[in-house]
Structure 1
Amino acid sequence: MKINYAKGNDPMGLMLYLHEPAKQITPEANPVLATNMSGRDCEERAEEFRFSHDLNPRVKKTMVHFAVSLPPGETVSHDQIAQISRSLLQKTGHQDCQYLVVRHHDREHRNHVQHWHIATSAVSLKAGWVRDSFVKLKLLQIERQLEEEFRLSNHPIRPKAQRQNLSTGEYRLKERTGKPIPKEKLWDIIDRVSADPPSMTEFVARLKEEEVEVRFRQAQGMIQGISYEIDGVAFAGCKLGPAYSFGGLQAHRQIEYDPAQDQLLLLMQKMTREKCQQWLRDQEQRKKYQALYRQYWQTVLRQSETNLAEIEAERRDVIVAARSLSDIHQDETSLMIFYGDKAQKVEQQQGRRSAIVYVNQVIQQAIVFAELLMRDGTNYLKTLGNVKRSDQEHY
């Protein structure tokens, strides 16, 4: 058994990946094997995850993603998958969190590997934060425990993190020039840009910003290796040491990798240094405005007399926008809505232009809504908790 781990803050992106029809035997198949959630589709489940995240806004990386693979040829029943998944969540401390277990069939068809995914929250329904210190090292022990508990085949322990030693020729080159050689430069740069640790996409963008070229190796449609190039000299990740290979980056450096990002990673390896720098700036802006959105929504939840947790995304966007317009410039409110779950889903499914149209509609509705409340002399925050669909006649 192998368990890969990733974390992030985009429940909608993870839901769309887990429910991708191409990864099922038939597009109509229901991939969910076990859950404690009531949502019926991606959007409802993402909103349900967001509800638990709002219970503890101090947690930044709110989504947890486990990918579980069995050795080639080994299979278990759907009931066993559910049991193994619940035992895993118990051992990692997620027993009080929302979760979703989804089976994918793409790898099973290609190389007879049964695998499934578990999405859960880093915030429990009791508002507690499930800490993940040294989680990838703990997963090595949990793999062995689950193999014994469910009588599964054993996988060898992964190698310890280390650098590959310099060769005799590399030592002589370093002595002759008196300067760091390309391999040492790569060691230092990779160590520095992965210290956070970042996501895999952020890691690649930071390397490109440092003028390190990155290439991914694919096998059977999946990313399985990485190589680096600096000063015209290229190295496979494994030649730098176990901690520098594609798997080692995840196991030893805690770099977050999500297979849903494969297409972006392949695109990023061709991007220029300038485009990667712009992408990193965009990511910082995205994080800033997503945090601002959560801040305003938390304010609304605290001050509203009615439970708004189940309100649909469009109405929530209007409420958040109306609440923010009195504090920040309209352009900032537009960016905050643009980086929200609903607008990002529209952009992914219909394109950026449609997302911008959606944001403009939300802003116009928010302006009118706020003006109506002021004109009627109604307490704004109190009224937010009683917004009904019928209010749309005002818009």
Structure 2
Amino acid sequence: MIGHIEHGSNFGGLFRYLLATDKGARIIGGNAAGDTIEQLTQEFNNCADQRRTTTKPVKHFILSFAPEDGEVEDDLKQEIATQAIQRLGYIDNQYVVIEHQREDPGHDWNHDHDHIHIAVNMISLEGQRVDDWQDKRRFEAIIRELEQEHQLTQVAPSRERKQKALTHGQVQKYKRQLRDVKTGKQTQPPDIPISIKLQAAIDAVTRDKPTMTLFIGRLQHLGIDVKPIITATGRKRISYHIDGAKPFRGSKLHNGSFPKLISQRGVNCDPQRDRKAMEYAVNHQQVTLPPEQLINWSEINLSLYLPKALDTESLGKEKQKKTEKALINHSRINTINQSSEKLEKEKALMSSLPLTPEFSPDVIEKQQEYTLTIAPIAYRWLKANQTVRYEAKDNLIEYSQGRLTIKDGEGNYKMIAQSVGVEQHNFQQWQCINLPQNSPGLTQKDVERFTGSEMKDALRELEQKNNQFIKRRKGRGR
């Protein structure tokens, strides 16, 4: 599940939105006496008036279930809503649980998942204000607990995601442009959001834990104006600027702030050594680097950073390949001019990506073979355990936005696979993605472990239990 919290001062405005006739709204739970916009507004306002010093007594929680959960029963939605707000401390408070249908005229696309809204009065029936300190963080932790307790699809916590999520507006805009490409209304590919370009660039240039000078020079070569600043008091901050858009603070990107570049990404910053490069960056001067240390946009697959639904929605396989190529061309900045070199890099990017250059061809081929053998089993294992992250003694398996990885006990990559769609029998298809340098890769022992009888028996048992649970739940629904 994905949770979102809003707060405000106007119960009338909230209930007019939640109970709008075009949303197919249904009240499925709560403790309020009224059931119309006017009745609920009056009822909640009367209670809030007990504590007029609280100017924003409105709490609005949104819970979206994963598409994999299918159609969730009303009883379960109501139970989860009640448990969530009570664990947040809203025990003696008015609340209403409202379901909206998936078809939503207010949006360009219908929802592909069930979702509910919970309107809560922050002022209790006794006139006390509930402490909502760190509600967002606590709400997310509670959601993870409820997913496990009710055997729902587990979603990766926001702190474990590799990038900041796109806003609803960005997703809607991208979908509109995808639709227009399909229908021929526009020939240009959709505009990649600036946040995705910056995120992908930062990931690419920090892969080998560079110095701050190298970090700055690489980003400048990609057309990104970066400003790293250390104040007189020692405070560190950084911003990124691209394509004439507003500058992005580092904190708005995953591990993009100055402190996290150092602590999480391993960027080596020596104030004395890197002082000149930092001054150049602040004054919009170019840091010169040897060509072999630079990274070009043609080496960065931007489509891997798009949410899975946006990456392939409404486009056939052939159109998708052309679009991915166009996305890179459209967003390329300051890349090398030799057309032959660009063509070769684009061909390499659009095909199954090789592993690190230090591997010999026969080792690369073997790693690709191991990946295509293990990836379907690892993905099936995660689904059977209803999680996106599974940690064992020797391996950590993770899945996020179409990318499946396996790491060893020390956090080194053994496998990176990218989903490339579903074939006719509904099986996920995978391609091998290049590993960072010095990665151990997969071994024959890994293949034997994943394809052995012990794994097969464990998978069969888990999947049988899951199927039995689904049948029982459907039986209760009848």
Superposition TM-score tier, normalisation by shorter sequence? 0.3 to 0.5
Please report the TM-score for the alignment, with normalisation by the length of structure 1: 0.43
With a CA cutoff of 8 Å and minimum separation of 6, indicate the structure with the bigger relative contact order.
1
| Higher percent of residues as helix | 1
Please report the TM-score for the alignment, with normalisation by the length of structure 2: 0.36
CA radius of gyration, larger in: 2
